[in-house]
A and B are shown apart, each in its own frame.
Chain A
Amino acid sequence: DIQMTQSPSSLSASVGDRVTITCQASQDISNYLNWYQQKPGKAPKLLIYDASNLETGVPSRFSGSGSGTDFTFTISSLQPEDIATYYCQQYDNSYTFGQGTKLEIK
C-alpha cells in the first residue's frame, strides 16, 4: 500500500501570508496526486488534480506542484475563508489520503 505523509499536521498563519503544505508518497506516484479542502462540518472539495491542475472555479491563489514522491500545495495569499483542513490524495494505485493539515488564522 502507498502511504502519504503530510506536513505539517497543523499550521497557524496570518491573512496575506504565503502558506505551503507538503505531501510525500512512500513510492513514485508520478503526478497522480490531488488536493482537497474540508471546512468544519462540510464535505471535502477538490482544489487541485493531477498534482498541479486547478479545478474549475477554484481561486488562483491555490496551486500545486511536484511529481514522483514529493508534492507541494501553496496558498499565495491566505484569506480568512481558507481556514480548513487540507488533504492530499494519491490515486496511482488505489486511493490513499494524507492525514490532513489543519490551517488556522494567527
Chain B
Amino acid sequence: QVQLVESGGGVVQPGGSLRLSCAASGFTFSSYGMHWVRQAPGKGLEWVAFIRYDGSNKYYADSVKGRFTISRDNSKNTLYLQMNSLRAEDTAVYYCAKDRKAAAGKLQLYAFDIWGQGTMVTVSS
C-alpha cells in the first residue's frame, strides 16, 4: 500500500542541526512532488517546504528559508529535510506528504493526499 515513513527526529540544542528522512513505498516516488509540513505542540499545521518530482525546483516557507534544505533521492525513494540553525520555535512534529497528482509539464500545485505518521523534533537546551 502507499506509505510514507519519517525518521530522524530527536532532541537538539538551539543552533544545532538535524536531518529528517521520509521513506516512500507503494507508488512511483519519482513522479510526485513532495512536501514537509510541521505542527508545533497544540498548534495548527504549517507548510514548510516543497520539492518537484525531479528535484528541479524547491520552495520554502519564509520561516525556514536559508536554514532548511529539502532534497530527494529518487533512486532510494527517499525525501530529506536538512535543518540547520535550529531554534526553539522549530519544535514540532514534522510530516512528509505527497502531491495528489503526478507531475506533468509546468509546475502545478495540488492537495496532499498521503501523509506520514510524523517525527518529533525538539529544540531545547
Given contacts A49-B100, A87-B45, A97-B44, contact A43 B95 (CB under 8 A): yes
Given contacts A95-B47, A96-B47, contact A46 B109 (CB under 8 A): no
Evaluate contact between B47 and A34: CB separation under 8 angstroms. no
Which of B45, B111, B115, B118 has the largest number of chain A CB atoms within 10 A? Answer: B111
Given contacts A87-B45, A99-B44, contact A94 B59 (CB under 8 A): yes
Which residues of chain A come closer than 8 Å to B118, judged between CB atoms? 43
Chain B facing A: main interface SS = strand
B contact residues, range: 20 to 34
Does A39 touch B at the CB level, under 8 Å?
no
For window 77-106 of chain A, which residues contact chain B by CB distance below 8 Å?
A: 87, 89, 91-92, 94-100
Which residues of chain B come closer than 8 Å to A99, judged between CB atoms? 44
| 0/1 interface trace, chain B 58-92, chain A, CB 8 Å (1 if under) | 01010000000000000000000000000000000
Shortest distance in angstroms between A89's beta carbon and chain B's nearest beta carbon? 7
Evaluate contact between B116 and A43: CB separation under 8 angstroms. yes
Evaluate contact between B45 and A44: CB separation under 8 angstroms. yes
Which residues of chain B come closer than 8 Å to A55, judged between CB atoms? 111, 113
Question: In the complex, which residue of chain A has the Cβ closest to the Cβ of B95?
Answer: A43
Query: In the bound complex, how far is the Cα of B46 from the Cα of A16, in angstroms?
Result: 32
Evaluate contact between B100 and A87: CB separation under 8 angstroms. no
Question: In the complex, which residue of chain B has the Cβ closest to the Cβ of A85?
Answer: B44
Taking beta carbons and an 8 Å cutoff, which residues of A are in contact with B? Answer: 32, 34, 36, 38, 42-46, 49-50, 55, 87, 89, 91-92, 94-100
